[in-house]
Amino acid sequence: MITRKLAATLGLLVPAVMALGMSADTSYRFLGTVLRITAPAERGALCGTAEAAVIALALYAWAAGARSAAWLAYGVVLVQAVPAFEISGGMGGAVRTALGPVLLAVLLHLLLGLELRLSGTYRSGLVGDALREVRERLTAYLGIGRRGADSAAIARSRAADRAVVLADRVAGTKTGTRRYARRTAALADAVDRARHGLNPKDSRAAESAIVARVVRRKSAGDLAVIDVRHDWAGAYRDDGQDVPAQDRDEPVPVPAQDRSTADMIRELISEGVTKPPEISRRLLADGVSAEPGYVRRIVRKVNGS
């Protein structure tokens, strides 16, 4: 479905591309006639220099809110009037200038909403929204665009992310090895950096958040075998009436575990159950699901292999 914003954007974008072509044609002819650049490849590579400068300055004015960049763009447009008059004379030069660089600059101005951007008023053009989204994604990926966060907060957030990743790596590393020692030290360092500069209360909260993320990641596999039934009939009945109690699928609560999965695996091993498949079956019988790889890692750790 074509919205009014999309229609307006396309209506401005099509003549902007045509104006770009008119301006580039003027530059191409001027390079050959006046500047004596006759090699087709060289002329083709250089004919869009001024046009590219106008587009770049307009984008910079939009992104940085710099009035100077907007004025420089219009200055380049005035310079492009010289080739237009040189190629087509008085009347033809005025037409080439108006339909080429001037029209391109005006349409870019409207597409990016520079008059609102430079005045501090928010605008929501389609092209502007797309460019803003690209900028936000890029700055977020680089870690420099998080609003309301200083460099210390960004560093703590990165350290927390690294601590969660290192916790998984430490769990899969054989104890007693140099790699295990290095990863454990790196994990401790990441946790310390995630708490750096915080008061005791916030420090405990940051540490608890890391632990919660680690636990959630390790137990994510349980989501596929969770022992709870959802009442779809009650949620999507057309007549709006309640489902009778005898026909309703009541959620079956999952019993809370006072011990961790790793502790339960160690207890089963101490009871003589050493085969990972058997351990997984015993855990399922107790209402606990664990990934086979995780069970094997715990068994190897207990056996020291």
DSSP alpha helix (H) spans, 120-255:
126-142, 151-171, 178-194, 200-218, 232-235
Give the per-residue pLDDT at 113: 67
Q: Express each pLDDT in 100-113 by its tens digit.
A: 888 888 887 777 76
Give the per-residue pLDDT at 258: 45
Give the per-residue pLDDT at 215: 85
Asked if residues 47 and 104 have their Cβ atoms less than 8 Å apart, the reply is no
Give the per-residue pLDDT at 126: 59
pTM: 0.36
Give the per-residue pLDDT at 226: 64
Q: Which residues in the chain come in under a pLDDT of 70?
A: 1-2, 113-128, 131-132, 136-137, 139-151, 221, 223-259, 305
Asked if residues 127 and 9 have their Cβ atoms less than 8 Å apart, the reply is yes
Q: Express each pLDDT in 109-138 by its tens digit.
A: 777 765 555 455 445 555 567 766 777 667
CA dihedral 29, 30, 32, 36 (to 10 degrees): 170
Q: Express each pLDDT in 198-243 by its tens digit.
A: 888 888 898 989 988 888 888 776 766 666 666 655 555 554 455 4
Give the per-residue pLDDT at 155: 78
What is the residue whose two structure tokens read 């004015």? 61
For 218, the token pair is 């390790």
Q: How far apart are the first and last CA of the chain?
A: 62
